[in-house]
Amino acid sequence: MTGSIISPQQVMDRFTARIGSGIREARISERREGKKKNPHYTIWLEIDKELLRPAIEILMEIRFPHLSVIGANDLGDSIRLVYIFSIQYGEVKSEYMVTFAVTLPKTDLTIPTISDLIPGAVFGEREKQEFLGVKVVGIPDSRRLFLPEDFPAGVYPWRKDETGIPPGMVKDLWASRRPANRPAPVVEIKEVSGINAEPAKESGQSPKEDN
Amino acid sequence: MAPDEKKAPYTVQIGPVHPALKEPVMFTFEMEGEQVKAVDFAPGQTHRGIEWMGMRRNPVQIVHLTDRICGICGVVHTLSFSLAVEQIAEIQVPERADYIRSILHEFERIQSHLLWAGVAAHELGFDSLLHLTWRVREQAMDVIENLTGNRVNYGIVQVGGVRRDIAPEQHPAIEQCLSAYEGLLEKLLNLFLDDRTIAMRCRDCGILTRKDAIELCTVGPTARASGVNVDLRQDYPYAAYGDLDVRAILPEQHMGETHGDVFDRIVVRLLEVGQSCQIIRQCLSEMPAGPITAEEKLAKLLLICKKAQGEAIGRVEAPRGECLHYVRMDGKESPTAWKVKASSYSNLMSWIPMLIGEQIADIPIIVASIDPCLSCTDRVAVVREGQRSILTKEYLHRLSVEKTRRLQR
């Protein structure tokens, strides 16, 4: 590991000195557990979208950060992305979290990619694109990540407005039968009796299932 | 498929039903002869939308949902979700609960690592070793059942504490299990690390460099095997770990050097079993007396959670690495935002540098080397000259076993 250990307050001071005007809100939260009550800290910074990349660069000057995940909230007329980093890993009881929160109005849901700075960010960015409809500008791989290929376009599961999951996709699913527009199975389907079979034509064996 | 694609590189697809994750994965390999030239993969084949469900439930209900995120890690997801909610609602967890949480957390690590070691042995064709590791794993499962009432989906962690205490009568059972493992560890280390064939199959196979491990945000034993000093139990004091002196296990401590290969991942995981035994023993002896939960009555607990406002991060060291839950609550019954980051989410991207340049018979062990969930690779579809044929998991496994036999000659 390189460099000396610096305290959360020192990190915070570094950010206020360099990009102070763009920080809308800054706080440090603390949590103590166990018998000795050793603290761990989280630095929360609300910053402007333009400052996201400069802020990460400042963080990288300290040490190479670990990007844990990109969290997200739908706040109604805007979407807030929370970039959750940890720095100073590998130092005994001195690791802490640094989060950058960026609020994007729903009229302009674009955010620059950070994957050129931190290659491991691609996963999180792909996920945010498909789950929230955020457009990551410059993303090297813009395919879907978790959602299936036939998931309807324009539906974003984590959104709380009309583009969220419509009730039809989650309610009364028992009523929806096997989709008709799927490709034919590779393996030929054998003659089956039972749940998926058509109502038995020959009499004698009446299926117990109600479909 | 275009006709000119008859020539190398061939495209080999593995998946979409694949065991290396809790979600099956679809792999696409570009092969030239036996060698992997390029890899691509698509996760999410069985995305269950748990976060979506959670945003429509209250924290007490979510705790039972998080228990079921993973079949192996029944403690870590619930624990990190609870840690997040406790921070938002400013609930102070009793110290005894912190210790009980840590004990269960370590038992989970033991059973998960042993399960993984068995899978690794199986992938290499050492089924006797698989049976040995899985038989001894049962002891940890029995203790977990003794402590929680369940073998999986423990239902032990609750927001504010734990739901069952560890009584003094249970200590002998725990102690017996720990000493059995400590006696066995030497044998396991010997069987895995001093075996010539395992060394031939795993040494310098599936290498992840330290630089790649850091840049791809890799976590847990996969990162430690590449020489990255990360372990939340050491770096980030949560639960009882702030009181203990846990140190990250790195391969160079045991082997004198770091290769970042499959072999190093075996070293790290096996040594962590021994480390977990020590941690449990220390927790048992130092466990303070007192209540096990901050709020026993669920209705009251719900009321506290309902009033809570703010956001927080709960973070624990799962058997496979960092598990993180981000929660935001806005004074409503259910959280406004909930993001689950399982350890494998961070580790998947490391497959690409590991697999490139390796042989097709090494794919099973490399894929398994980052993650213990290898339960049932269903099939591999090979698309060759426009013809689709299904290779079974057994076929791929046989290739791997044959390679071992070849090397043994």
Contacts of A94 in chain B (CB under 8 A): 235
Beta carbons of B228 and A90 less than 8 Å apart: yes
Subunit contact A120:B345, Cβ cutoff 8 A: no
The pLDDT value recorded for residue B379 is 24
Q: What is the ipTM of this complex?
A: 0.84
Tell me the chain B residues in contact with residue A97 when contact means C-beta distances shorter than 8 Å.
313, 315
pLDDT-derived band at B369, boundaries 50, 70, 90:
confident
- The burial class, CB within 10 Å (0-12 / 13-18 / 19+), for B356 is middle
Instruction: Tell me how far apart the alpha carbons of residues A120 and B87 are, in angstroms, rounded to a whole number.
Output: 28
Residue A187's Cβ-side half-sphere holds a number of Cα atoms within 13 Å equal to: 7
Give the distance between the most distant pair of CA atoms in chain A.
84
pLDDT tens for B170-192 read 999 999 999 999 999 999 999 88
Of the partner residues B44, B235, B339, the one whose CB lies closest to the CB of residue A69: B339
CA-nearest of B331, B330, B326 to B303 is: B331
Strand segments (E) across chain A: 23-33, 38-47, 66-74, 78-87, 96-105, 110-112, 135-137
The residue of B22, B81, B209, B236 whose CB has the most chain A CBs within 10 angstroms, and thus the best one to mutate to test that interface, is B236
| A149 domain-assigned | yes
Q: What share of chain B is helix, strand, coil (3-state, %, to 5)?
A: 50, 15, 35
What distance in Å separates the CA atoms of residue B286 and residue B99, rounded to the nearest whole number? 8
Is the pLDDT assigned to residue B254 strictly greater than 50? yes
Domain contains A18: yes
Residues of B in contact with A186 (CB under 8 A): 381, 388, 390
Report the 10 Å Cβ neighbour count for B58.
18
- Is A158 in Cβ contact with B51 (below 8 Å)? yes
Mutate to test the interface with A, among B79, B93, B313 (most CBs of A within 10 A): B313
Provide the token pair at A113: 């990619």
Phi and psi at residue A190, in whole multiples of 5°? -75, 165
B69 versus B58: which is more confidently predicted? B58
What pLDDT is stored for residue A208 in this prediction?
A: 44
Interchain proximity B234–A118, CB inside 8 Å? no
CATH number of the domain to which A46 belongs:
3.30.460.80
Beta strands in B118-171 (DSSP E): 157-158, 161-162
Residue ranges of domains in chain B, CATH in brackets: 3-46+349-408 (3.30.390), 50-345 (1.10.645.10)
Range B232-261 average pLDDT: 90
A52 CB-side CA count, 13 A:
23
Please check whether residue A107 lies inside any domain of the structure: yes
Q: How far apart are the CA of A12 and the nearest CA of chain B, in angstroms?
A: 18
> Is position A166 within any domain?
yes
**Mean pLDDT of the region B284-313:** 92
> What does the DSSP 8-state code read for residue B239?
T
As a whole number of angstroms, the distance between CA B215 and CA B323 comes to: 18
For chain A, how many structural domains are there in total?
1
Q: How far apart are CA A166 and CA B51, in angstroms?
A: 16
Residue B122 or residue B177, greater confidence: B177
A208, part of any domain: no
pTM exceeds cut of 0.90: no
Nearest CA in chain A to B339: A71
For residue B234, list chain A residues with Cβ-Cβ distance below 8 A. 92-93
Among A80-89, A154-163, A173-182, B120-129, where is mean pLDDT lowest?
Answer: A173-182
The secondary structure of residue B147, as a DSSP letter, is H
> Is residue A2 included in any domain, yes or no?
no
Record the tokens describing residue A55, joined without a space: 């802020």
Residue of A nearest to B287 (CA): A35
Handedness of CA B83, B89, B90, B93 (dihedral sign): negative
Which residue has tokens 């199959």?
B201
Chain B, residues 296-335, CB within 8 A of chain A, namely: 311-313, 315, 322, 324, 326, 328
B73 SS3 class: coil
> Phi, psi (5° rounding) for residue A70?
-110, 115
The backbone region for B161, taken as left when phi is positive above 0, alpha when psi lies in -120 to 50, beta otherwise, is: left
Q: How far apart are the first and last CA of chain B?
A: 40
Q: How far apart are CA A144 and CA A151, in angstroms?
A: 10
Give chain A positions within 8 Å (CB) of B229: 1, 89-90
Check residue B246 and report its DSSP letter: -
The per-residue pLDDT for range B311-323, each reduced to its tens digit, is: 999 999 999 889 9
Residue A115 domain flag = yes
Whether A202 is covered by a domain: the verdict is no
Mean pLDDT calculated for residue range A67-82: 92
Enumerate residues 240 to 299 of chain B having a beta carbon within 8 A of any beta carbon in chain A. 240-243, 247-248, 286, 288
Closest Cβ–Cβ partner in B44, B55, B311 for A145: B44
Burial class of residue B297 in the structure, from the number of CB atoms within 10 Å of its CB (0-12 exposed, 13-18 middle, 19+ buried): exposed
Q: B95-124 and B262-286 helices cross at what angle (nearest 10)?
A: 150
Give pLDDT, residue A194: 56
Contacts of B230 in chain A (CB under 8 A): 66, 89-90
Contacts of A74 in chain B (CB under 8 A): 336-337
| Distance of alpha carbon B105 from alpha carbon B101, whole angstroms | 6
Predicted local distance difference test score (pLDDT) of residue A192 = 61
| Domain of A141, in residue numbers | 8-175
**CA dist list (Å): B124 to B12, B207, B304, B400, B405:** 21, 17, 52, 6, 9
Half-sphere exposure for B386 (CA within 13 Å, toward CB): 4
Residue numbers in A near B241 (CB within 8 A): 34
Closest-CA distance, A53 to chain B, in angstroms, reads 16
Q: In chain B, what percentage of residues exceed pLDDT 70? A: 89
Residue B130 burial (CB count, 10 A): 18
Size of interface A-B (CB pairs under 8 A): 148
Note which residues in 28-47 of chain B have CB less than 8 A from chain A: 42-45, 47
Q: How far apart are CA B120 and CA B139, in angstroms?
A: 20
